Chains A and B, each alone.
Chain A
Amino acid sequence: MTTPGMVLRFSVEGGDYAAAGEAASKIKKALRKIGVDAGVIRRVAIAAYEAEMNIVLHALRGRLILEVAEDKLRVIAEDEGPGIPDVNLAMQEGFSTASDLAREMGFGAGMGLPNMKKCSDTITIETTKDRGTKVVMNFDIDDDGVT
């Protein structure tokens, strides 16, 4: 890892479908630039993209933050929004409150949070009703990048 200490922040607008994915795309490009293992990049990109889509689909506004450390990467997705009433339920495959519009775009299958869990090494979710949600995902970068 060449750039420990690097922090990148990208704002994400709720409902902005045209821009949805830009933050995850920039994160992916940044990781490529600093030479992170391709398997790890893939896991981070998928998790960051699903996290970004959740802000676009379910929240008012938020941000994606990438933190680069010596031996790990962290992606934080935090938003101002409705919060998640039951996190255990939301983590289940297939659970979704997404709109028909989300489904028309190929999201809203209730696979986002479970896949974020699968792609990251650790995930924590803090959420408060009517305030917002903060998802913190850590990725080890010394492993073999198993997806």
Chain B
Amino acid sequence: MNLRKIQQLLAAEILWGEEILDLVEPRYACGSDLMSDVLAFTKEKTLLLTGLTNAQVIRTAEMIDLSGIIFVRGKKPSQEVIAMAQERNLPLLMTKLPLYETCGILYSAGLEGCSGLPSRRR
């Protein structure tokens, strides 16, 4: 499932990365506001769903090569943070939905979590 599909499922606003949405295909997703946990438990090619919008989220993504970030609950990062993502070629989406609903939609559409347990519908 590529980011374009994910963006459509969530009716998400594209903050940055319109041209690469079709090309980016995350294998896993992870929902968290704890960057230390994301650093500890996340694999490569993971899409991060988070309510945090500061620069450390982009740094975290850079360190572990996340596929992209979806900001939930309509939280919009500052222009500087969006510019940081742009420099790193990291797509950013924003959805009005809260974290739980966002995760639920993507999980039931078949996007796996990082635990290694398979998603119920594939």
Interface residues of A (CB under 8 A from B): 17-18, 20-21, 24-25, 28, 42, 45-46, 49-50, 53, 104-112, 114-115, 118
Q: A109–B36 contact, CB under 8 A?
A: yes
- Indicate if B2 sits at the interface (CB-CB under 8 A): no
Residues of A within 8 A of B50 (CB): 106
Contact A28 B56 (CB under 8 A): no
| Residue among B33, B55, B63 making CB contact with A46, cutoff 8 Å | B63
Residues of A within 8 A of B64 (CB): 42, 45-46
User: A112 to B36, Cβ gap below 8 A?
Assistant: yes
Min distance, Cβ B82 to any Cβ of chain A, angstroms: 15
| Chain A residue nearest to B38 in the complex (CB) | A106
Closest Cβ of chain B to A92, distance in Å, is: 14
A residues less than 8 Å from B83 (CB atoms): none
With A24-B63, A45-B64, A49-B39 already in contact, 11 other A-B pairs whose C-beta atoms are closer than 8 Å? A17-B55, A17-B56, A20-B55, A42-B65, A49-B60, A106-B34, A106-B38, A106-B60, A109-B34, A115-B40, A118-B40
* Shortest distance from the beta carbon of A123 to any chain B beta carbon, whole Å: 15
Q: Are A105 and B35 in contact (CB under 8 A)?
A: yes
**Dominant secondary structure of chain A at its interface with chain B:** helix
Name B's interface SS.
Answer: helix
The contact of B35 among A17, A45, A107, A114, by CB within 8 Å, is A107
B57 within 8 A of partner (CB): yes
Q: How far is the CA of A48 from the CA of B109 in the complex (A)?
A: 35
Point out the residue from A42, A50, A106, A114 that lies within 8 Å of B52, measured CB to CB: A106
Contact A50 B36 (CB under 8 A): yes
- Residues of chain A with a CB closer than 8 A to B35's CB: 105-107
The answer, yes or no, to whether B13 is at the interface (CB within 8 Å) is no
- Those of B44-91 within 8 Å (CB) of chain A: 44, 50, 52, 54-57, 59-60, 62-65
Can you list 11 residue pairs at the A/B interface with Cβ under 8 Å?
Answer: A18-B55, A21-B55, A28-B63, A46-B64, A50-B36, A106-B34, A106-B52, A106-B57, A106-B60, A109-B36, A109-B37
Contacting residues, chain B, for A25 (C-beta < 8 A) = 59, 62-63
Q: Is the CB of A107 within 8 A of B56?
A: yes
Nearest-CB residue, chain A, relative to B59? A21
CA distance A24 to B52 in the complex (A): 21
Distance in angstroms between the alpha carbons of A135 and B55 in the assembled complex: 25
Complex A-B, nearest 4 residue pairs according to Cβ-Cβ distance, in ascending order: A106-B35, A21-B59, A111-B36, A109-B36
